[in-house]
Structure 1
């Protein structure tokens, strides 16, 4: 397992615990998150709309690997992060930009500052006290969980990161199993449009999965109901699916 993959997985587990999986969207590009300079949508790694917090990993390539030190690329990424932050604030979202390769305690401190800012902004917004109370309670729980994780990281960073990464792999395996079992029970017939999408799948084709995000097809094997598709998702995680269960979960990457 690459160090980049391990570090990113550790942070994914951190966010899953902090937000308790409640209304936590991953790999999302909201309609309002459009770069005015390019007119292209920007991406958020996580968005928790009910508490007004989003997360973006920095320093990664499109395939989840560590970005090397090309000055122009780094400056361009920095400009996109600034634009992303400005657009998020306009829409009541506080953005945490996390560098998974930096000191995890330092990054947790930064994340905690974002949670605190979200709490202040929530207290001042125009919603009813009852609505704000729900968000404030969720933010308080998130802060408590984040502080506990920060304490554990500060005592033994390397071991804690490894433990968190392993926990995320277990979590993903459970999610994948549940999704496959649920889909197999329903097994709806794909529409003509979905059949065309499946027919066009070939090695090297970029796709977007509704749950696992961006990836590339690495293998297509079998026929009919036994047709299987292997997809390498950004971050070096390869998964195999029955084609019949992918029909309503895939779309071509933009």
Structure 2
């Protein structure tokens, strides 16, 4: 996969893992200043309510040659400074190399999330705010762990699927799906999906009107919010919102 696709896959991982969290993308906080140069440093994502941030590394601009050992050392020192400055301000930073082993990178992200949970638990936030942050972090940890499990099974296939999902999200398709999911709870199509798919389980064979036959790999959620993951016979895995494929899926 290209760097572009790896980046798209990781953007989708973060979008799913941190779904519902306030996010500040491509931000340069006033407090994140390199003491050696007095220059402000950038974060790719900042989730202020739960004290977590993400910085991607290992990326080069198009046409840029291989970095020298000295430049690589400077980058490493800058990344370490970024981590330390974030900690000083109550933010746990995950440094991610999108092109590296995805399971290893996910393990690093999970470590950061666990540390953020401990920091919040031991911090001096007001009780209600602390409880909300703890609940939010637990939700993020659960979803990120689920994604990590999928990546460990078929890393290249899952990364490719995630990259494609991000492309759809950018095009606005995912936004429409989310809106349709909310509306489906109160309309007839959502009720029909809940009835038709309530017996589905992983391992069952199923047929899609457009993509042919495959095997269900996961069924997440309930009723109109149900999402069905199917590995088609051509080794292509896709995820469907149940309420949108109620007339397209049949037992094989």
TM score, norm. by length of structure 2: 0.66
Cα offset for 1:35? 1.0
Distance 1:66 1:81 in 2: 20
SS class of match (1:127): coil
Partner of residue 3, structure 1: 2
Partner of residue 124, structure 1: 122
Distance 1:156 1:39 in 2: 44
- C-alpha change, 1:151 and 1:13, in structure 2 (3 Å) is same
Distance 1:129 1:72 in 2: 47
Cα offset for 1:130? 1.1
Q: In the alignment, which of 157, 160, 171 is matched to residue 159 of structure 1?
A: 157
**Is 1:29 matched up with 2:22?**
no
Distance 1:147 1:65 in 2: 36
Distance 1:165 1:41 in 2: 31
Q: Which has the higher contact order (CA 8 A, sep 6+)?
A: 1
What are the Cα deviations for residues 52-72 of structure 1, in whole angstroms up to 9, with x where unaligned?
0000001113x4788735211
**Retained in 2: the 8 A contact 1:4–1:66?**
no
Distance 1:150 1:135 in 2: 22
Distance 1:64 1:22 in 2: 32
Matched pairs, number: 176
SS class of match (2:131): helix
Partner of residue 42, structure 1: 41
Spell out the pairing of 1:112-191 with structure 2 (5 A cutoff): 112-174=110-172
Q: Mind listing any 5+ residue stretches in structure 1 that lack a counterpart?
A: 179-254
Distance 1:4 1:24 in 2: 23
Moved over 4 A (4+): 64-67
SS class of match (1:51): coil
TM score, norm. by length of structure 1: 0.66
Distance 2:37 2:101 in 1: 33
Q: In the alignment, which of 75, 81, 84 is matched to residue 82 of structure 2?
A: 84
Distance 2:56 2:68 in 1: 17
Q: In the alignment, which of 91, 94, 106 is matched to residue 92 of structure 2?
A: 94
Partner of residue 196, structure 1: none
- C-alpha change, 1:147 and 1:92, in structure 2 (3 Å) is same
What are the Cα deviations for residues 117-173 of structure 1, in whole angstroms up to 9, with x where unaligned?
000000011012211000000000000000100010001000100010111111111
Q: Which has the larger radius of gyration?
A: 2
